[in-house]
Amino acid sequence: MVDVVTQAFAILFVGAILGWVFEKSVYSTFIGYLLGGLLVSLLFVNLGVDVSALFNEVSFLSNLGIVIFSFEMGLFMGIESILKNLNKILVIELSSYPVL
């Protein structure tokens, strides 16, 4: 039986490796981290390891990752681009709240 800590380290390790590879080839480490997490999770499921405990334990980290990704995308876009398209951003944000 694989414990939660080993599962988390395996996902982070494979995600970091794929993030580095994707940074060198595709420029986005985020895609590498997503693909690494998906591949390791599928591997654990195919090996019969219960991954539901891991997802319950790391829900805070997943929310933190989304916040950090949002800040990174904001920095990548630049403040000029954000201010230039502020009206479109506000319309999208305000229309998404009733849906959520």
Q: Quick one: pLDDT band at residue 1, thresholds 50, 70, 90?
A: low
55-95 pLDDT, tens digit per residue, is: 666 667 667 777 777 777 777 777 777 778 778 877 877 88
- Tokens 């990174």 belong to 72
Segment 10-21, tens digit of pLDDT = 777 887 888 888
Domain coordinates in residue numbering, the chain? 4-99
**Exposure b/e, 78-100, CB count within 10 A at least 16 = b:** eeeeeeeeeeeeeeeeeeeeeee
Full-prediction pTM beyond 0.75? no
CB 36 within 8 A of CB 14: yes
CA separation for the pair 30, 57 (Å, rounded):
21
Taking CB atoms within 8 Å and a gap of at least 24, the contacts of 4-8 are 4/53, 4/54, 4/57, 7/40, 7/44, 7/49, 7/51, 7/54, 8/54, 8/57, 8/58
Q: What does the pLDDT read at residue 14?
A: 82
- Mean pLDDT for the stretch of residues 35-59: 73
Query: How much is the pLDDT for 58?
Result: 66
Band (pLDDT 50/70/90 cuts) for residue 54 is low
